[in-house]
């Protein structure tokens, strides 16, 4: 079962995102600032990583920024790194302090990315600006940080009065007006003298939290709606021992999300209430943004879903946000289901449920050694789980599930739409998690809420799909079949290499070497797809000093999200059965993937390979990771 659960791990590493929470998978993300540019939503989060050796291990560690975008809030694209800590002239390149950012579009059409960082000289934090012609970067940091700001978590409000106001945290919440160049504070900002112990400092702008209830505050996000200005912020209210959201006293209080309203961007602001209560699992931070998109309002925030034992590695979420007629905000109850409509022919992750039975149903991690593998739903007899808003684009006659059933069991699938369709799914016993495809009576196209009920022996369900699988899911099903060819190892990828000329296999004279230039190709596997780069890489056969034929392959792969990975193979060609392609490698290819990238797991593996060679110069190399 271990190697099959690892296959799910590999799929999770794709970094793709779906409608469920958290919506970015395969990497840690926090502090999401959402903005709408040209009809598309862009999310600029901070990027939590595991602290490298020599860096404080029990604190936040952030080296760079990514940006993600979507036009439906369901399918998200990772555009890769847009700014790294080593690219900030005024910043400490080894501080790992790239905390919560923001991004706006200026009147000149360019995009201005605001971010905090620890300065190269001095202490505390500064706020810098990086500029790009595209919302997806790359962004170039300005030589110096913004003079007059000492703090974290910048947010820029583009107000209807024609001005731009920057908010920041650190020692309270402050706001100041920006110049039209969006790079400096305006000269007409008010100032005040603040005492910190024996020190006195002149602060630019206004302390916009003076009129708000006491308690630690950070991460301001400001927006305008119906002529009112909303200041929203993480807030630690009360003290240790006060009742938490479940009425029980907490060992230590965590951040709520609160808000206040004003008629003026610089206040004074009047406290109105909470947007979200404390984390029920005591994730210390919450950080957020609020955006309107296609007539609906959404709250972007974070939680430690993929890091239950360490709340400094967070993951971003989305839920809907609504207003009352008087402009006040209704409290948002965090959901696992998230937002948007899920396509039925993809993976319906029932563990991100809309509702679940109070008994005989539970959610667990697929792999507690690597939480990015996600979760599964366990249903005992009588247990059920419900998942809302599923779209079936054409009539379906099959249902696929990835299940683990130690005994045969019977499930009932209710498709609740304009009409209700109930389907009996008879699940055979499996060897660990397996993908099962079952024929069912035709299901009409339309939108449904799905309920899965167990009428038999206990079963674990990873995901469910209705109808002919989507292209990506069909690949995953194929990968599962390839996995069965090597039951003691984990299928990683298949590389299809195009060479310049035909390639033959046979004995060679000692010392001779055949070099076939690589001109292209593609590769794919669970959670990893891309192209083989041409040029500079050869495929060669040679005799080693002992007179045995060695095969050496050097590849440069580029993933679809722009990460370069190098592979170096060197192994002996061994004879085998025709069904095993006639020969195979006994080798341990060396994967070289960027440290802390979502493909970093490739650096830590030992692999076996089975190649096949076509007369047209095509080489197919399938690779499995040894457990």
Catalytic residues: 31, 218
Q: What is the DSSP string of 406-441?
A: SS-EEEEEEEESSSEEEEEEEEPP-SSSEEEEEEEE
- Distance, CA of 447 to CA of 421 (rounded, Å): 12
For residues 373 and 366, the answer to whether their CB atoms sit within 8 Å is yes
How far apart are alpha carbons 261 and 257 in whole angstroms?
A: 14
Buried b (16+ CB within 10 A) or exposed e, 23-57: bbbbbbbbbbbbbeeeeebbbbbbbbbebeeeeee
**Closest Cα partner for 341 from 444, 461, 447?**
447
CA separation for the pair 25, 15 (Å, rounded)? 5
- For the record, the structure tokens of 12 come out as 């999770």
- 22 upstream amide cis, omega within 30 of 0: yes
d(CA 426, CA 416): 20
Instruction: Identify the burial level of 308 via C-beta atoms within 10 angstroms of its C-beta, where 0-12 means exposed, 13-18 middle and 19 or more buried.
Output: middle
Q: Which DSSP category does 43 fall into?
A: E
Q: What is the H or E stretch that residue 3 is in?
A: helix 2-12
Give the integer Cα–Cα distance in Å for 81 and 248: 42
Can you give the three-state secondary structure of 470-511, one letter per residue?
Answer: CHHHHHHHHHHHHHCCCCCEEEEEEEEEEECCCCCCCCCCCC
316: tokens are 């971003």
Q: Reading across the β-sheet that carries 296-303, which strands appear in turn? A: 289-293, 296-303, 315-321
- Greatest CA span in the chain, whole angstroms? 86
d(CA 312, CA 49): 9
C-alpha gyration radius of the chain: 27
Interatomic CA distance for residues 66 and 47, integer angstroms = 7
Alpha carbon dihedral 7, 8, 12, 13, in 10-degree steps, equals -20
Place of tokens 């040209």: 38
Task: Report which DSSP code applies to 185.
Answer: B
Name beta bridge partners: 69: 42, 77
Beta bridge partners, 301, equal 317
């Amino acid at each position: 079962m271990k190697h099959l659960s690892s296959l799910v791990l590999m799929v999770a590493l794709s970094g793709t995102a779906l409608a469920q929470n958290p919506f970015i998978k395969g990497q840690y993300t926090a502090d999401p600032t959402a903005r709408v540019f040209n009809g598309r939503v862009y999310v600029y989060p901070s990027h939590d990583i595991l602290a490298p050796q020599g860096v404080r291990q029990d604190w936040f560690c952030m080296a760079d920024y990514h940006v993600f975008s979507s036009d439906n809030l369901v399918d998200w694209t990772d555009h890769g790194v847009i700014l790294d800590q080593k690219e900030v002239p005024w910043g400490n390149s080894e501080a790992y302090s790239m905390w919560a950012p923001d991004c706006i579009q200026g009147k000149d059409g360019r995009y201005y990315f605001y971010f905090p960082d620890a300065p190269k000289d001095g202490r505390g934090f500064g706020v810098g600006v990086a500029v790009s012609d595209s919302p997806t970067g790359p962004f170039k940091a300005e030589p110096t940080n913004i003079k007059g700001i000492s703090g974290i978590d910048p947010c820029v409000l583009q107000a209807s009065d024609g001005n731009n106001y920057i908010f920041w945290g650190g020692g309270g919440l402050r706001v100041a007006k920006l110049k039209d160049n969006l790079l400096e504070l305006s000269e007409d900002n008010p100032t005040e003298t603040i005492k910190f112990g024996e020190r006195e400092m002149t602060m630019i702008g206004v302390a916009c939290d003076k009129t708000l209830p006491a308690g630690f505050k950070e991460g301001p996000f400001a927006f305008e709606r119906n002529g009112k200005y909303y200041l929203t912020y993480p807030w630690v209210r009360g003290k240790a021992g006060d009742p938490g959201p479940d009425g029980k006293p907490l060992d230590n209080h965590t951040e709520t999300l609160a808000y206040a309203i004003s008629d003026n961007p610089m206040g004074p602001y009047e406290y109105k209430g909470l947007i979200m209560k404390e984390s029920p699992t005591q994730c210390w931070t919450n950080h957020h943004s609020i955006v309107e998109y296609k007539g609906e309002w959404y709250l972007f925030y974070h939680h430690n879903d993929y890091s239950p034992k360490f709340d400094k590695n967070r993951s971003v979420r989305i839920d809907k946000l609504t207003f009352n007629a008087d402009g006040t905000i209704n409290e948002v109850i965090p959901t696992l289901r998230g937002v948007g409509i899920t396509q039925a022919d993809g993976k319906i992750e029932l563990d991100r449920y809309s509702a679940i039975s109070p008994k005989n149903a539970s959610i667990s991690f697929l792999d507690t050694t690597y939480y990015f593998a996600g979760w599964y739903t366990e249903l005992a007899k009588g247990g059920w789980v419900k998942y809302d808003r599923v779209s079936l684009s054409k009539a379906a006659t099959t249902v696929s599930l990835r299940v683990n059933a130690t005994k045969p069991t019977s499930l009932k699938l209710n498709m609740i739409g304009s009409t209700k369709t109930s389907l009996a799914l008879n699940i055979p016993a499996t060897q660990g998690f397996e993908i099962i495809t079952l024929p069912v009576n035709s299901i009409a196209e339309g939108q449904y809420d799905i309920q899965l009920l167990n009428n038999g022996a206990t079963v674990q369900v990873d995901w469910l799909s209705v109808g002919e699988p989507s292209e990506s899911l069909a690949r995953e099903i194929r990968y599962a079949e390839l996995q069965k060819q090597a039951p003691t190892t984990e299928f990683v990828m298949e590389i299809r290499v195009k060479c310049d000329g035909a390639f033959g296999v046979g004995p060679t004279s000692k010392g001779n070497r055949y070099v076939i230039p690589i001109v292209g190709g593609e590769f794919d596997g669970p959670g990893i797809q891309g192209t083989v780069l041409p040029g500079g890489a050869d495929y060669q056969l040679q005799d080693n000093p002992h007179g045995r034929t060695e095969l050496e392959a050097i590849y440069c792969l580029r993933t679809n999200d722009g990460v370069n990975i190098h592979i170096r193979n060197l192994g002996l060609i061994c004879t085998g059965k025709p069904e095993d392609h006639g020969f195979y490698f006994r080798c341990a290819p060396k994967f070289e993937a960027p440290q802390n990238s979502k493909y970093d797991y490739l650096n830590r593996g030992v692999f076996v390979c089975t190649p096949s060679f076509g007369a047209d110069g095509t080489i197919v190399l399938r690779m499995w990771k040894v457990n």
